[in-house]
Amino acid sequence: MSVSPDAVVPADLVAALRRDGHVFVHAAELQPRLASDVGLSDWPQVAQSWDDMPLDAYMADGGRYRRRRYGVFSAGRDGAIARESHQPHWQSTDYNRLNGGIARWFEPIADDIGASASIQAVLQCCRGAFNALAPDTPHWHIEMHQFRIEAALDEAGQPTPEGIHRDGVDYVMVLLVRRENIACGTTTIHAPDGALLGSFTLTDTFDATLLDDHRVFHGVTPVVPIDARAPAFRDVLVVTFRGADAPTDPLP
């Protein structure tokens, strides 16, 4: 399943990302572009897949507020985007002071979800934007994370428990899938010296931010329930791109 990247990636989005190192994209702009080629006909089934995720068993703070699935893909500058065999997620403690330094084996994203038209549309959109920013990168290593952050009165949900950080990749997309009965969850963007560059809240399905991970840091404020009697959570899809030929920290 393939689509011309130029069909879904507006030039002004790429220009803003090149200029500022980050860009917030409203759902009203992004959703029609994702739907224009590959399509989003299976989005309800994709969004529903957030409902059966296991707890993240690697939380060094002891928190039980994060559910997660993970998958790895690879791609050239065009053509098919391939699902790779399941493998651990690795970050050094330079990038993740809380949970880094170990190989984390998360449950895999379901095969049918990874191969869905909606997920392929998101991946194609990311590749189009990041190709434009990195014209000399021939191959991409892509990691995808499904996150559900749950909130309760006795335990606020921490979308970024490691604090303000970089991910240790080249580029990042964070896409909101669903917010249910929560307040807060504001994304903040920072310069390497900590200076605040911007802030916004992902509120609508398909609201998204794209980041140049070499240039900016990011974080998200904790989420809390509005009604303590009802389920409260924040579902996001995080996709990271790294040049496949770039050196990376080895697994221990």
Domains and CATH numbers, the chain: 5-243 (2.60.120.620)
Q: Which band of pLDDT confidence, cut at 50, 70 and 90, is reported for residue 37?
A: low
The label of the residue with tokens 């299976």 reads 42
What pLDDT is attached to residue 3?
Answer: 44
Among 2-6, 72-76, 197-201, where is mean pLDDT lowest? 2-6
Asked if the model's pLDDT at residue 33 lies above 60, the reply is: yes
pLDDT tens for each residue of 116-163: 999 999 999 999 999 999 999 999 999 999 999 999 988 999 999 899
Give the global pTM: 0.93
Are 26 and 33 in contact by the 8 Å Cβ rule? The answer is no
**Percent helix, strand, coil in the chain (nearest 5)?**
20, 35, 45
Whether residue 97 contacts residue 167, with contact meaning beta carbons closer than 8 Å, is answered with no
More confident residue, 97 or 201: 201
